[in-house]
């Protein structure tokens, strides 16, 4: 039976609606994960095909919209061949559905009636949608300047919206306070979310016939994919399913890059940084809650953190759009990072990256970005 564990070794039973320890420490989920590979061929192409490694009781019924098992396409961008996972194709338009389907399944299993979440975008959309499907009352705290299309999407799912004046940190503080009373479905705090995002890496390995890629280039905001991928690769490696753990390359916007700076200075944790404003708003996290975990994971994988400029983000968006794919500006930052990584590294081997979110929610921003052509 899996259980919650803090970094100080305190444990809690898994089926309790908590999201941190009594003293406010982060929780991780500890368990034994064994994937019955021989059974996978007959299962539907959703992320729930990895049911045995998702730490939720076997009698829980998934709160699912048939999400996951997104295509892994070979693309050539800026002269480099890379594999690009189509994570913009999720029901709510971003890979955050991976975390939301798992977290809401657990919440429903524990008979949670109402929850709070805070997000400036896609995590809120995903939690709102899956909470609606689960029949759970949902309140989302948002910074006052959140993109209108995303608010509309949350409202459509009947979420109650609480706009908070100030920055992203003020919003988190307001939600944190409300979480004294309600279940906190935070994609940063709640470790069930990471056991959903880890299916991203399970899928990559299965789609590559259980050969590890050499590097996986992912966004590094709050780190749900960095840490989810790290969990998955370790679980698969420990079971002898994959031959090695790929390098994890975390991408930040140069305008808000606390982890790139800490990585370069060989620090175990980041210093407080300011968000100087970037097109990649979805990864502009000045003070990532799990920052030290992200630094440790990327280093242990042999990977690195890279920063991309606003110019590189726009150029990558154009390259991708010129092949017909329509992605969020935030997603273009990760592609810019994959290109930068392949430009500076000799013999990269097989590189996998992703389109993290759909362009359809960001039309206004994309219009502005393209109008500013220089």
Ligand X SMILES: *Cc1c(COP(=O)(O)O)cnc(C)c1O
Which DSSP symbol is given to 327?
B
Q: How far is CA 160 from CA 27, 58, 115, 116, 362, in A?
A: 27, 31, 10, 9, 22
**89 and 112 in contact (C-beta within 8 Å)?**
no
Query: Using CA atoms, how far apart are residues 259 and 273, in angstroms rounded to an integer?
Result: 9
The interface mask with ligand X, positions 234-273, x = CB under 6 A, is ----------------------------------------
If the CB atoms of residues 2 and 250 are measured against ligand X, the closer one turns out to be: 250
* 191 binds ligand X, rule: CB under 6 A: no
Using CA atoms, how far residue 367 sits from 88, 153, 177, 371, in Å, is 19, 20, 37, 6
Q: Which stretch binds ligand X (CB under 6 A): 45-53, 178-186, 310-318, 324-332?
A: 324-332
Q: Which of 47, 33, 41, 75 is nearest to 209 (CA)?
A: 41
With binding defined as CB under 6 A, does residue 105 bind ligand X?
A: no
Other Cβ atoms closer than 10 A to 266: 8
Q: How many residues bind ligand X (CB under 6 A)?
A: 18
Cβ closest to ligand X, residue 224 vs residue 301 = 224
Q: Which residue has the tokens 């039976």?
A: 1
Segment interacting with ligand X, rule: CB under 6 A, options 45-53, 164-172, 221-229, 240-248 = 221-229
Binding residue for ligand X, selected from 356, 359, 361, 362, defined by CB under 6 A: 356
Q: Is 330 in the site for ligand X (CB under 6 A)?
A: yes
Map residue 329 onto helix, strand or coil.
Answer: helix
Q: Is 146 in the site for ligand X (CB under 6 A)?
A: no
Looking at 132, 225, 254, 313, which residue binds ligand X (CB under 6 A)?
225
C-beta of 282: minimal distance to ligand X in Å?
4
Among residues 222, 255, 316, 353, which is the contact residue for ligand X, using CB under 6 A? 222
Both tokens of 12, joined, read: 């809690």
Provide, rounded to whole angstroms, the least separation between the CB of residue 87 and ligand X: 8
Q: Does 134 bind ligand X (CB under 6 A)?
A: no
Name the nearest CA neighbour of 130 among 50, 63, 62, 59.
63
Per CB under 6 A, which of residues 273..292 are in contact with ligand X?
A: 282-283
**Beta carbon nearer to ligand X, 105 or 334:** 334
Query: Where does the chain have alpha helices with state H?
Result: 37-40, 96-109, 122-134, 148-156, 168-178, 191-197, 199-207, 224-238, 258-264, 291-300, 310-321, 329-344, 363-371
Closer Cβ to ligand X, 64 or 330, answer by number: 330
- Strand-strand pairing, 80-85 and 351-354: parallel
Compute the least distance from the CB of residue 168 to ligand X, in Å.
Answer: 11
Residue 30: CA count within 13 A, CB half-sphere: 12
Shortest CB 219 distance to ligand X, Å: 4
State the residues that interact with ligand X by CB under 6 A.
94, 96, 122-123, 219-225, 282-283, 328, 330-331, 356-357
């Amino acid at each position: 039976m899996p259980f919650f564990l803090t970094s100080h070794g305190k444990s809690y039973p898994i089926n309790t609606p908590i999201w941190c320890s009594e003293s406010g420490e982060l929780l991780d989920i500890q368990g034994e994960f064994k994937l019955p590979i021989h059974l996978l061929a007959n299962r539907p192409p959703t992320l729930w095909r990895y049911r045995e490694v998702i730490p939720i009781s076997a009698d829980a019924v998934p709160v699912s919209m048939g999400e996951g098992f997104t295509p892994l396409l070979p693309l050539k961008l800026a002269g480099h061949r890379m594999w690009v996972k189509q994570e913009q194709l999720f029901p709510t338009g971003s890979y955050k559905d991976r975390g939301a389907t798992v977290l809401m399944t657990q919440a429903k299993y524990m008979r949670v009636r109402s929850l709070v979440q805070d997000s400036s975008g896609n995590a809120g959309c995903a939690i709102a949608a899956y909470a609606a499907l689960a029949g759970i009352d949902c309140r989302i705290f948002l910074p006052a300047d959140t993109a209108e299309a995303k608010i509309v999407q949350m409202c459509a799912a009947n979420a109650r919206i609480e706009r908070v004046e100030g920055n992203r940190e003020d919003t988190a503080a307001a939600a944190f306070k409300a979480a004294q009373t309600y279940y906190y479905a935070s994609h940063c705090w709640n470790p069930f979310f990471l056991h959903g995002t880890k299916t991203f890496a399970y899928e990559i390995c299965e789609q590559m016939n259980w050969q590890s890629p050499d590097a996986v280039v992912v966004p590094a905001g709050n780190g749900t994919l960095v840490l989810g991928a790290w969990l998955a690769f370790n679980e698969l490696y420990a079971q002898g399913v994959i031959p090695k753990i790929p390098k994890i390359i975390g991408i930040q916007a140069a305008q808000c890059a606390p982890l790139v700076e800490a990585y370069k200075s060989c620090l175990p944790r980041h210093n407080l940084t300011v968000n100087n404003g970037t097109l990649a708003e979805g990864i502009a996290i000045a003070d990532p809650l799990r920052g030290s975990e992200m630094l440790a994971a990327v280093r242990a994988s042999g990977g690195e953190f890279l920063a991309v400029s606003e110019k590189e983000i726009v150029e990558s968006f154009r390259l991708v759009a010129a092949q017909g794919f329509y992605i969020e500006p935030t997603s273009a930052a990760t592609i810019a990072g994959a290109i930068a990584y392949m430009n500076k590294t000799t013999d990269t081997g097989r590189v996998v990256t992703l389109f993290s979110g759909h362009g359809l929610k960001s039309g206004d921003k994309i219009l502005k970005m393209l109008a500013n052509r220089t």
